[in-house]
Amino acid sequence: MFLIAITRPVSSSIDYCELSQLKRQKIDIDVAREQHHQYEETLQDLGAELHRLPLEERMPDSVFVEDTAIVLDELAIITRPGAEPRRLETKSVAKILSSYKRLYYIQVPGTIDGGDVLQVDKTLYIGISNRTNEAGIKQLEKVVQPFGYVCKAVKVRDCLHLKSAVSLVHHDALLINRDLLDSSQFSDINLIDVDLSEPRAGNALLVGDTVIIPEAFPKTRERLEKRGIKVKALDVSELAKAEGGVTCCSVIFEI
């Protein structure tokens, strides 16, 4: 098994990023780049080989590569991001992914952000959010069904994406903030609740047997560690001002 992580450097136009839940705050680009560097180093320490896409200075959100593609063992789906200014980001991602996978594209009028797709084995939980619509979900379902995947749509509220509220932290356990979604779809899997004083802590990134979470959520970290989960906490405060979490800065897959 070989792990690939696609990343992209932080654009100096990140101050013009899309925002849906947060008020705009000035982002310190040098700090953001240093934090992103630490994130990339952590992925490498955890065994991933980095493929850094070219810097896209005119695309403020282009560091958040997760939203541009859904990569499965058998194929990759290039998304049509819900925020129109982000759609050009997919081009370079498609180019690199085409050397590993057969590509499918979400078409008009469908929209999907990768942040809304949570894979647990052969189940894809898909957030119905401000970025991902029913037409996008139908297209995705049609493409993945022949490969044995089951799609389950989940309504999310008061957050950007499904994975802002729930993410994989062990092969059979999810970290979740049930206040931000309809949790009835997750009845057949173990759930670990975020500490409710840290409502934004639901976004964690499992790489191998280690879970990356933001340093800003120590109580949730403690909860994970109590369950025997190995955690690596990172300072991602500047990227968080752009509503970026730890899953969104990479597209990770095995080859």
At its nearest, how many Å lie between ligand CIR and the CB of residue 87? 11
At its nearest, how many Å lie between ligand CIR and the CB of residue 34? 19
Which residue's CB is nearer to ligand CIR, number 20 or number 183? 20
Coil vs helix vs strand at 227: coil
**Dist. CA 152–CA 254, nearest whole Å:** 23
**Dist. CA 116–CA 129, nearest whole Å:** 8
Q: Which residue is nearest to ligand CIR (CB)?
A: 115
Site of interaction with ligand CIR (CB under 6 A): 17-18, 20, 61, 64, 66-67, 83, 86, 115, 160-161, 242-245, 247-248
List 36, 161, 170, 249, catalytic entry: 161
170 part of the active site: no
Which residue's CB is nearer to ligand CIR, number 57 or number 225? 57
SS (H, E, C) the chain: CCEEEEECCCCCCHHHCCCCCCCCCCCCHHHHHHHHHHHHHHHHHCCEEEEECCCCCCCCCCCCHHHHEEECCCCEEECCCCCHHHHHHHHHHHHHHCCCCCEEECCCCCCCCHHHEEEECCEEEEEECCCCCHHHHHHHHHHHHHHCCEEEEEEECCCCCHHHHEEEEECCEEEECHHHECHHHHCCCEEEECCCCCCCCCCCEEECCEEEEECCCHHHHHHHHHCCCEEEEECCHHHHCCCCCCCCCCEEEEC
At its nearest, how many Å lie between ligand CIR and the CB of residue 10? 12
161 part of the active site: yes
At its nearest, how many Å lie between ligand CIR and the CB of residue 181? 14
Which residue's CB is nearer to ligand CIR, number 83 or number 233? 83
List 17, 159, 248, 249, catalytic entry: 248
At its nearest, how many Å lie between ligand CIR and the CB of residue 161? 5
Locate tokens 């749509």: which residue? Answer: 153
Active site residues: 161, 248
